[in-house]
A and B are shown apart, each in its own frame.
Chain A
Amino acid sequence: MSLPSPLFFLTLLPLIAALFIMIGAPARLIARFASIGILAVTIDLVATYPFSAGGFQFISQMSVSDALGLSLSFGADGLSLAMLFLAAIVTVSAVWVIPPIKTRENLFYACVLLISAGVIGAFSSTDVLFFYAFHEVALIPTFLLIGIWGSGDRQAAAWKATIYLGLGSFVLLLGIIGLYLAMPPSQRTFDLQTMQALAADGSLKPAHWVYWTLLLGFGTLISLFPFHSWAPQAYASAPTPASMLHAGVLKKFGLYGILRLIVPIFPHSILATRIPLGFGWSISYLDLFLVMIVGNLLYIGLVTIAQKRLDWTLGYSSVMHMGYIFLGIAAFNQLSLSGAAVLMVAHGLSIAALFALSGALRERTGTLDYAELGGLAKPMPLFGLLFGFATMASVGLPGFANFPGELMVFFGSFGTSTDILKHGLSSIQIVTIIAVWGVVISAVYMLRAYRNVFFGTMPERWARLPDLAPIPRYAVILLILVLLGIGFHPQLLLSYVTPAILLP
């Protein structure tokens, strides 16, 4: 038997580190080393990915049950590598920004590493069931992290997020079972590539309910409106590394799943199916999906503006930004899909930076209420500068990775001109116009947050706040540098992701 894929060891690395930490090894040291190890291995994989061959590389397969077509198989193509890179970067910065933990340090670090193991395992699995399973593993450490070390109404937040996500992922599991059963009995398998191949040659024709269970299952995990209400509360209450990893990486699991399971397997024409509403009215799948997206963009956008605390603003903003990515997926053309993939990475990095900084702020001030903050750029100039960068990235200022992503989504989706309505615009074009206004909304709340925290009059008690310590500083700078790098040279990322999501 040949050596398992390096991806297998990459998944094992945080697991083993977490195990050692649980047994009693020095938590902080081991976690930091493990995170660096993860990043090193990931960069090595990204650098050595053979473009000429393309497709899934670093493959290894261990059969678990031949009868079921289930195997523990690893492999990565450009898209998985991009997500793995995101996971590795955010893991490193999440582990390194952790402030000294007063109680039960070992359990804390072990939980953070377990979340990381879950996402890395999910992004490097090519078996759909294990892909699902790895994601769900992250659920329990999140529950513990929020419940034990969270802030605010942590218990309610932990319960809500866990049960919501548990239910969402169970719906998703039904969708996966549906895909599995839709295959001809002799060919049933959970292998992703075989599934896609069977879909391509027409022998996998899943029913429409499978489409909806998958979409709603993944949608719940991504906080698609109206299944989003777990997210802001959980992110606001979770300790910093948990919200960084969850909002930054774990949430991208759902989007990644849509790009892997829905986009290639279901024919595009499914979106044109109409649901009768009675009285001669009907709505197409696409339009229903678009209504949800508008909910994410406009409704959640306006809710975000109304927030009075920084952590809730960030929590809601991460829900809202999912709208752009959904739009890119709904538009279903090459440009917008690539844009969605770029946005996935960009949003992950920028929200992680924002949560890292807001966590550091909470640690200093003990509050994130706008009414109590202000003028903090004076005592903490560097903090203010970095927060400014992260804010600009999140708004989508040119130069940051979010900008090319949004631009591609908008161009792509506006260019989709199927199903033109009476007044000359297709429904997706109308939503694109709304989405562009969404950029204005996000500028409003992010700049408002920035102003409320860092400018204006400073309450006297904040005059002596210490600026960022070196280690968290570099952790955030790392995130921002990557954002800038992709922002100035998006081709770097696109050369990986586009071949992986090439439409037929």
Chain B
Amino acid sequence: MNPIYLEVFVVTLGIVMLMVEAFVASTDKRYLAYAGIVGLAVVLGASFFVNPGAISEHAPYAGFYTADNMAMLFKRFSLVATILVLVMSIDYAPIVERFIPGESKGAGLGEFFALPVLACAGLMWMVSAIDFIAIFVSLELVTISFYVLVAYLRRSHTTLEAGTKYLILGALSTGFIVYGITWIFGVTGQTNLAAIAATLPHLPAASHTALLFGFGLVFIALAFKIGAFPFQFWIPDVYQGAATPIAAFLSVGSKAAGFIVVLRVLQPFLGFAPLTGKIEWILLLTAGATLIYGNLSALPQRNLKRLLAYSSVGHAGYLLMALASLDVLFAQGAIEFYLVAYLMMTFLAFLVMAVVSTSVGGDDISHFAGLARRSPWLAGAMLIAMLSLAGIPFTAGFLGKLFIFAVAIQAGHWWLVGLGVVTVACGFYYYLLVVRAMYWQPAPENAPEISVSIAGRISMAALAVLIFVVGIYPQSVLGWLD
């Protein structure tokens, strides 16, 4: 089967979900979410039977679309992430209903379940895109879906603030990428990444500056998506304002796909000797600043969503550390491994947070006080997520950090490694803050019972187990990489 059908199926699924929402009257919209989960799971299963070789050289999309190992891995990654978002959304539905003005019960829920599916199709195209046009179009599909999703809880002021911020900054970054692409196109006459790589050696030296400028603009736009310093300002506010499942989706899906695009865009430019040194410096400085900013700002946070937002900036820093060491053979593998680990631990944390904050009514760290005694299983899942994020051995997060640091040492980025050690110690502190709240502190009086849907329980258990499985047996993921 041709891999391009995967995206076609996902888009169709999204449209069908929207149609059903519009034309079928039903009080309980949650079945739409279940239908979405099943549909995406089917696509996930189908992804193991596609034949990447089925893309013929003469197909109209051949220069735009690739289905190499990395693309396939991250298509599955996006599917899993979207499934988890839908699972989370089911537990989160009461809050959505509360913040959506509507006559009937469940008004607006249908779109809340359908839009992530469309964003998923965008993510899947993004990781396959090998042409600036394709990159731009898929990026916009993702971003526009997110414009709606972020601002979804329209009666909440913080959500509206988040939506506005995301819209303005997102539009700005779109402007940057288009402008950057035009410069690169102006210099090379190409939009296809491979074709650009082929053109570069023949460029006159006079146009190197223009090329670097174009690359810089594109990198700025992508830095917005992955949350790299100094383009990370929107992250904490948007995460805090957006509905929790959407924040998780942004934090994992959008970031991972962003990194894959950066990896692809970097290839031709890093391979071009006159620019290599300069681009490496850009990456090194960005990595260092992102590490410092993300981790230091996470230290004083007392709201878990903001904490996770800053920690996601911090994790982008570790990823950039490997990105700055791309000349090391294993660097790309380290990034992919880290992203997979990041998906598992971040989603586990967000799943628990969505459940707890729905029932307790807030997502400050203090709302988690005494969770270990009230719901030991939920606390245990959160503990595993936090330990993995902090990088304690036997979890996937530990090996992720190990690989990244091994790569950075091999590349000889000493000061970055030293900085990384300090930020890892910071991480110990702020992740253990959550552990402290759950295990040390007493629960508030008359705390409500916390209930979790079956799908939520299964996802949490599966993620918790997977974190350990990957942490003890990394070959399970490494085997999928190139």
Contact = CB atoms under 8 A, between A and B. Distances in A.
A173 B429 CA distance: 18
B107 interface: no
A33 interface: no
B424 interface: yes
A259 interface: no
Nearest to B439: A144
B474 A166 contact: no
Nearest to A111: B439
A143 B432 contact: yes
Contacts, number: 82
A155 B429 CA distance: 12
A65 B424 contact: no
Q: In which size bucket is the chain A interface?
A: 35 or more
A162 B421 contact: no
A55 B393 CA distance: 28
Given A65-B475, A70-B474, A104-B373, A133 B421 contact: no
B345 interface: no
Q: Which of B373, B393, B417, B475 has the most CB of A within 10 A?
A: B393
A53 interface: no
A457 B254 CA distance: 72
A133 B439 contact: no
Contacts of B402: 129, 173, 177
Nearest to A118: B393
Interface in A180-196: 180-181
Contact of A170 (B425, B440, B475): B425
Interface stretch (B74-82, B259-267, B278-286, B405-413): B405-413
Interface residues of B, number: 33
A170 B392 contact: no
Contacts of B30: none
Contact of A133 (B380, B394, B429): B394
B428 interface: yes
B429 A137 contact: no
B387 A166 contact: no
A129 B405 CA distance: 14
B133 interface: no
A65 B478 CA distance: 8
Interface string B380-423: 10000001001111100010001001100110000001000110
Contacts of B425: 163, 166-167, 170
B421 A171 contact: yes
A271 interface: no
Interface in A130-177: 132-134, 136-137, 139-140, 143-144, 147-148, 155, 159, 162-163, 166-167, 170-171, 173-174, 177
A136 B425 CA distance: 14
Interface in B296-314: none
A137 B394 contact: yes
A288 interface: no
Contacts of A66: 475
Contacts of A143: 432, 435
Given A143-B435, A147-B440, A133 B393 contact: yes
B210 to A, nearest CB: 39
B373 to A, nearest CB: 7
Nearest to A66: B475
Contacts of B64: none
Given A64-B474, A170-B421, 12 more contacts: A65-B473, A65-B475, A104-B373, A137-B392, A137-B394, A140-B387, A143-B432, A143-B435, A147-B436, A173-B402, A177-B409, A181-B410
19 contacts: A64-B475, A129-B402, A133-B393, A134-B393, A136-B393, A140-B435, A143-B435, A144-B435, A147-B440, A155-B440, A159-B429, A166-B390, A166-B424, A167-B428, A173-B402, A177-B402, A177-B406, A178-B409, A180-B406
Interface of A: 22, 64-68, 70, 72, 104, 107, 129, 132-134, 136-137, 139-140, 143-144, 147-148, 155, 159, 162-163, 166-167, 170-171, 173-174, 177-178, 180-181
